[in-house]
Structure 1
Amino acid sequence: MSGSDCGHIFVWDRHTAEHLMLLEADNHVVNCLQPHPYDPRIDYDIKIWSPLEQSTSFNRVLAEEV
């Protein structure tokens, strides 16, 4: 996982380096990103994601543009 200056989180497969997911995290820079082993907190501003869609909807074109 990696944060970005555009406020997104990028997720890659660590074995193939394939880009798997793009999440809109904030309206500001995402400087640091570290998953907690059991408590889903990010600094003082808590962001929690939950899989809501039945199927994956990763837009590779949008990810490339971002």
Structure 2
Amino acid sequence: MQPPVRVLDLPEDEARRCLRFTIAELEELVEAIAFPPVVITSARDTMDAVEAMALVYRRLAEPSR
């Protein structure tokens, strides 16, 4: 089994390709919209705000996958 991918460790070009934003841009968005520092999903998974924002934008970037 492969280790989980850390979104915050993605190279800038890979983040832009997968998420349409760099990690620095996601951090700015999180701050601008006052996202809570920790997000708890309906499945009770916890992640930090930037990871949650990356998850949302990943799904919006390629909804058919």
> What TM-score range do you get, normalising by the shorter chain?
under 0.3
Going by fraction, where is helix more abundant, 1 or 2?
2
Give the TM-score of the pair, scaled to structure 2.
Answer: 0.25
Structure with the higher fraction of residues in strand conformation: 1
